Amino acid sequence: MSLSAFISYLKLEKNYSQHTIKAYERDLVTFSDFCREQHDEQDMVTVAYPLIRNWIVHLSEQGVSNRSINRKISSLQAYYKFLLKVGDITVSPLIKHRALKTSKKVEVPFSEMEMETILSEIPFGDDFEGCRDKLIIELLYATGMRRAELVNLKVSDVDLSSGLLKVLGKRNKERIIPFLPSTAQQIKTYLDKRTRLEKISDSHHLILTKEGLKIYETLVYRTINKYFSLVSPKVKKSPHILRHTFATHLLNRGADLNSVKELLGHSSLASTQVYTHNSIAELKKVHQKAHPRNKK
């Protein structure tokens, strides 16, 4: 079965995002090239596990982290699972594979003070780009949406009168997210600046470049990194950390896990529970401070 058939399966049946599909395709092409160049083996369908193990060693020697290697192997596992499904193979070569050990990834959210400083004290500028950059940060923090969801947000998805917006998440699942009056005001300010652009080539998407085109994911990342470098010493400054911050701050202030799960668009509570680490730390502080048996 060709790689193109697998890619079509991911797109049409699994409803994966274009970003995810490209990642799968990139991993599989890289493995196919390794098979051909290093071992004169061109057909991924018939490979045995020792060849995959050699690829793992090769990646490790190139300095690829265990976490990244595990992700690449996950792409292979999905491919061989598909081959099993269509009957091209009877046993996956990865049936006995065990993932490489990785250190626990700790993502530190921004503090409430850092968020307040960014949104209330940092000068963004009164031009189109300044208003747009502030809106990017405001929307990510106020709604917890993913970077790709922000990029694809349309003008028609935002209802200013009701304070709700519609997001198309992973696997084309829609969800409705409320936003704050401050966010609504920032959207109005941005839209006013947007109408003054010389040219708007994309009138459907909400957030545009100064050339009037749909923004792209790298621009969102650069925006977050640029402004948070002014207020935060944290090493990692990314759109995902803002999503992490959104969830953590809600949980710290008493939001229940199921509500946060719905807002984030997670399919299971297990995905949301990774954000409870910081809220538990906050609860411990409150407990120790308030409990009468705690001797100071």
Catalytic residues: 146, 170, 240, 243, 266, 275
DSSP-assigned beta bridge partners for residue 205: 154
- Alpha-helical (H) ranges within 62-216 are 66-86, 112-120, 128-143, 147-151, 181-194
Which residue from 205, 221, 213, 170 is spatially nearest to 21, judged by alpha carbons? 170
Which residue from 257, 252, 255 is spatially nearest to 284, judged by alpha carbons? 252
Distance CA 197, CA 209 (A): 10
What backbone phi and psi angles, to 5 degrees, belong to 270? -60, -35
- Alpha-helical (H) ranges within 181-238 are 181-194, 217-228
Contacts of 50 (CB under 8 A, 6+ apart): none
